[in-house]
Amino acid sequence: MKRTIKEAIAQCFHYDNHEQLRTHPNDFIATYNFARRLKTLNGLILHEYICKTRTSEPEKFIINPSHQIPGLNN
């Protein structure tokens, strides 16, 4: 994952200050987790896969993953 972040962020963008560099990886990870479809998960985004797994194996989860979606409800 570190290499994925490095290739997607650090090598492609120029940052004017350290604050930009600190916030951009967090934005990238949020986008990766909630928007990017992954081949290894059969075309699901990570959040969809987690919710699907929760329905089939609820004993593995302490909290409801649908409560972890970023946005106005947080």
Q: What is the mean pLDDT of residues 13-32?
A: 81
Q: What is the pLDDT of residue 43?
A: 92
Q: What is the mean pLDDT of residues 51-70?
A: 79
pTM of the predicted structure, to 2 decimals: 0.55
Q: What is the pLDDT of residue 61?
A: 81
Q: Identify the residue whose tokens are 């120029």.
A: 14
Q: What is the mean pLDDT of residues 36-64?
A: 86
> CB within 8 A of 31, min separation 6: which ones?
none
Give ∠ CA 34-31-27 in degrees, rounded to 5. 135
Residue 71 amino acid letter: G
Rounded Cα–Cα distance for residues 61 and 54 (Å): 7
Q: What is the pLDDT of residue 6?
A: 76
